[in-house]
Structure 1
C-alpha cells in the first residue's frame, strides 16, 4: 500500500475532509484556538452553544476536576446570535474547515427561530441542536427526556432550515436509541452523542456542592465517560439509518478509531482541548499513522467494523 491515507468521510449529504471535529463548548468560536490549531486541517468544529440573546451563564465556581474528567456548569454563556454574526463569523471566512453552529432555546419556538436565523448565514455549514436544555414551558424538564418532545422540537427546527441538521443527544435517558429514533423520525440528518452526564462534586471541608449554580450538579465529561458513551454510539449506530457522530472522552487517535469501529461516521474532541489545545491536530496526525500501520487506505472502511466481529 502507498503512503496516502484517505481520511475523508461522508455523512449523507454532508462531507468532511477528515472525521475530526472539535466539540461545542470546548473550542470557543474557533478563533480562540488558532494559535494552536490549523483550522484548515481539521474536519471542522462546533461553536459554543448559541442562543438568540446573549447569556451570562452560571455563577462561579463553574468547573471542577474529577477523577479522569471534569464537571462543568457554565450555564450556556454565549454572545448571542447578533454578535456571533457580526463579530465572530466574519473572521472565519478565511478558513476552509466546516463550521457547525451549536444552538439551543428555552422553548420550541426559540429553537425554531434560532434555526431560521442561523440558516441565513452562508458560512455556517451545518447546525447542531443541543436538546439537553430545560423546556421552560413544560416545567423545566429537558427536551431530550421524552421522545414525543424530541420529535416536536426537532420537527420545528427542521421546518425552519434546509441546512444539515445534527441533533446532540443527552445520555441521561433510559434508552438513547429511542431518543435517536425520535430525532430521525422528525427529520434530523444526523445525531451526535453523547452530551455530558449529570454529576456532582462536594467540597468536603464545607460539606456543600462545589459548583455554584444553586443545585450543585454539572455535566461530567472526559475519559471517565468513554466506555459508556462508546456503548451508546455502538447501540445507536445500529438502531438508526442516519449518521452518528461520536464523542465522549476522546483523547487519542486510538479512541477515535474505537468510535468509528463502533459505527460513528465522525468524532468530536471535547474535554481534551482543555488540557491539550492541540488535541485535535494530534488525533488527526495519529489517525493517518494508525491507518498506515494497519494497512488501511480509507478510514471510512473502518466504520461499524465492530458490528461484524
Structure 2
C-alpha cells in the first residue's frame, strides 16, 4: 500500500528525511530511519565549510529562515561518520560542489550510499548550489560525470528561483533518475529595534508552511514535462500535505522543517496516510499524478 520505487531504489514508504535537517550525525539518522522510507544526509563537499556566523537560523510564524551556508565537515570525515548508519532504510548522500570533477570524486568517497542527491539549489552559498543550478550546461556535465561513476540512483534538487521546468528537462536529458523540488526560497528578516537584517548573511532560505503552495506548483509543472520521478519537498508537515503532493505528481516526499516541532512527524504522517489509503481503497502509487487526469 505504501511501497514506492524510485529508479531501482525501493522504499517501504514514500516519506523521506530532507537534506540539511538532522542529517549531520549517524545517531539522528538511525532514529529517523526507524520509520522513514529513506533518509537524506546534510549536503557535503570535498572540503569542510564553517558556514556563516550566528544568527544563521530563525523561526517565524510561517516556518524557518536559515543561512547556515552549507556548513559541513570534510567529505572523508563525514563518510566515517556515516559508516555508523544502521541501514534501517536507504541512505541518500547529498553533495555540493563547484565543478563536475568534485561531484565525481564525492561519489567515490560515498560509494556505500544507496543513492545520491545533487544540491543544485541552495540559495545562500556563494559559488555553490543555486549559482551552479543557473548554468544549465554545467548542470548537464555534473550529472553526466556522476552517472559515469555510479550505477546508483542520482536525484537532482532544483530551485523555484530558476526556470525549474527547463532545468528538470536538462537533468532528465543528462540521465538523472529523479528531480527533487524544491529547496528553500530566498528571503530575509529585519529587526525593527536594531534596524538591521537579523541573519548574519543578510538573506537566507525560507522553509516551512509558507513555501508549500510554491513547492506544490513546481511539482505539478515538472510532472507534466518530464517522465522521471519527482520528489516533492517544501512545507510538508502532515498526511494531507503528502496526499496533495502525490496527486500533483510526487512519487515520494521529503520532510524538513516539520522536525523542528516533533521528532515523530514521519510516524504521525504514516498513520494518517495509511488510513486515508485504506478508506479510499488505493495504494500510494495509484495517487501519483491523479489530479492531472481531469
Superposed pair shares fold, TM > 0.5 = yes
CA shift in 2, pair 1:256/1:45, >3 Å: same
Counting only pairs closer than 5 Å after superposition, residues 124-143 of structure 1 correspond to structure 2 as: 124-132=113-121, 136=127, 142-143=131-132
- Select which of 138, 159, 164 maps to 2:153: 164
User: What is the distance in 2 between the residues matched to 1:46 and 1:38?
Assistant: 10
Normalising by structure 2, report the TM-score: 0.93
- Pair 1:232-2:226 in alignment: no
- Pair 1:305-2:293 in alignment: no
User: What is the distance in 1 between the residues matched to 2:227 and 2:75?
Assistant: 32
- Select which of 64, 71, 85 maps to 1:70: 64
- Select which of 241, 250, 264 maps to 1:278: 264
Displacement of 1:38: 5.3
Displacement of 1:106: 2.7
Displacement of 1:195: 0.4
Match of 1:211 in 2: 199
* Paired residue secondary structure (2:154): strand
User: What is the distance in 2 between the residues matched to 1:109 and 1:208?
Assistant: 40
CA RMSD of aligned residues (A): 1.9
CA shift in 2, pair 1:243/1:304, >3 Å: same
Give the length in aligned residue pairs: 292
Q: Which runs of 5 or more structure 1 residues have no equivalent in the other structure? A: 1-5
Match of 1:18 in 2: 13
After the TM superposition, which parts of structure 1 deviate over 6 Å for at least 4 consecutive aligned residues? none
User: What is the distance in 2 between the residues matched to 1:220 and 1:141?
Assistant: 14
* Paired residue secondary structure (1:276): coil
Q: Which moved more, 1:60-69 or 1:196-205?
A: 60-69
- Pair 1:90-2:83 in alignment: yes
Displacement of 1:30: 5.9
The answer on whether the counterparts of 1:135 and 1:143 sit within 8 Å (CA) in structure 2 is: no
Match of 1:54 in 2: 48
Normalising by structure 1, report the TM-score: 0.89
User: What is the distance in 2 between the residues matched to 1:132 and 1:305?
Assistant: 28
CA shift in 2, pair 1:264/1:30, >3 Å: farther
Q: Per-residue CA shift, 1:94-134, capped at 9, x if unaligned?
A: 33201000111133321222123222x2xx10000001256
